Amino acid sequence: MINRTYTITIFLLLTLVASAQQIPVIIKGATVHIGNGKTINNAYVAFDSGKIVFVDSVMRNSYKNARIIDATGKHVYPGLFLLNTYLGLNEIDAVRSTRDYNETGEINPNVRSLIAYNTDSRLVPTAKFNGITYMQVVPQGGLVSGTSCVVKTEAMNWEDAVVNEDGIHINWPEMNHYSRDPKEQQKHLTEQQAKLVNLFAEAKQYQFKTVNDETNLRLQAMQGLFTQNKVLYVHANSAKGILEAIQFIKQHQPIKATLVTGSDAHLVADEIKQSNIPVIVNLIHSLPNRNHHDVDQPFKTVTQLVNKGILVSIGFSGSWESRNVMYTAGTCAAYGINPEQALQLITENASKITGTQNQAGTIEVGKNATLLISDGDILDMKESTLTHAFINGEECNLENTQTELYKKYSKRYGIEAK
């Protein structure tokens, strides 16, 4: 009886392993958008064991027992990146117990968004439905918010979701011209900036900590900046704040840094270019910060930075609304850059900024088979309809709460559900 039980158990395990093994997949006939500004018409993309093995306009290799997907007339894209979001840390804005993105205290580099990321969120599948396969989940608030992470949108738990923990986020102290006495506010800003200077000085000294010294979790979390294993993300919106942040970054070289900013970045584009610092432009679908700016200035800022030769990506601060980041990229395409450059903002450029360019961001041989098949232009809200999505070669389920409701009420009112 015992031997029979063992036999059945082994058989079931072997069955599960066999079912989990991926078979080669060949996508044929589609327009392939590589993600680096190039396209291949009527192309073939093949992937096996989670890796891309072939991308070309002519199929030269044969793969036995491969699954063939005829994508004639469709488009293939690399999986999209959503940067600077707290999607997965927040479920319902009005319910405090579902908000886990803001820690108490001012200086929290040791706070890790990764271990708070909720893979069971009902919001994340709606982002995946739009083509978002990777997210940079960022803690909020304070002077030093904490450590962000890049995660996959298809995962069982946070250990399964993690791609890397990419950087520490600081909110640069800036003047608010609409509140309190300017002198009092300037005094407060000076104190805040002094705290940042002291934090970095202490963190540098902590590198020489001995075994017998007491562990300081905050300073320990900062060490990745000095070894360049982590990126320093500096959030600054005003032109003055950006210049101060650039100066602060220069004073603490060598570190890798990225600016997270708004529509004022075009005012100091030359200084950003000279400092060779990448930029994440945030909240493109918004009004300009200054009354005398063009009303469409936020739509043009990305183009102005790209034309300067700056490495630019786009973010979407928030939670549920951030799933529309691809449509903000589409807006950029209507204001000075071409569609492939717009796609590059949320694919290759985003992967370079987050340090994941060796495995994601473009459809190239050797990279993870994380890609999308769409009926139309993925940057266009009217045309974008995903038919397939793969993350590391595994096909994703694109169903979510909203598609379920759509089908439910389509049936109720006699509408043909798509």
What is the SS3 assignment for the chain?
CHHHHHHHHHHHHHHHHHHHCCCCEEEEEEEEECCCCCEEEEEEEEEECCEEEEEECCCCCCCCCCEEEECCCCEEEECEEEEEECECCECCCCCHHHECCECCCCECCCCECHHHCCCCCCCHHHHHHCCEEEEEECCECCCEEEEEEEEECCCCCHHHHEEEEEEEEEECCCCCCCCCCHHHHHHHHHHHHHHHHHHHHHHHHHHHCCCCCCCCHHHHHHHHHHCCCCEEEEECCCHHHHHHHHHHHHHCCCCEEEEEECHHHHHHHHHHHHHCCCEEECCCCCCCCCCCCCCCHHHHHHHHHHCCCCCEEEECCCCHHHHHHHHHHHHHHCCCCCHHHHHHHCCHHHHHHHCCCCCCCCCCCCCECCEEEECCCCCCCCCCCEEEEEECCEECCCCCHHHHHHHHHHHHCCCCCC
In angstroms, the CA 239 to CA 263 distance is: 9
How confident is the model over 19-40, as pLDDT tens digits? 446 799 999 999 999 999 999 9
How confident is the model over 372-412, as pLDDT tens digits? 999 999 999 998 899 999 999 999 999 999 899 988 888 88
Q: How many residues does the chain have?
A: 418
How confident is the model over 224-263, as pLDDT tens digits? 999 999 999 999 999 999 999 999 999 998 899 999 998 7
The yes-or-no verdict on residue 5 having pLDDT over 60 is no
How confident is the model over 129-178, as pLDDT tens digits? 999 999 999 999 999 999 999 999 999 999 999 999 999 999 999 877 66
The yes-or-no verdict on residue 191 having pLDDT over 90 is yes
Residue ranges covered by each domain of the chain? 1-79+361-418, 80-360
Q: Which residues contact 2 (CB under 8 A, 6 or more apart)?
A: none
Average of per-residue pLDDT values in the chain: 90
Q: Which CATH class is domain 80-360?
A: alpha beta
Mean pLDDT of 47-60: 90
Of the candidates 245, 299, 233, the residue with the CA atom closest to the CA atom of residue 272: 245
Residue located via tokens 């991926």: 22
In angstroms, the CA 106 to CA 108 distance is: 6
pTM for the predicted model, two decimal places? 0.91
Quickly name the fold that domain 1-79+361-418 has. Answer: Urease, subunit C; domain 1 (2.30.40)
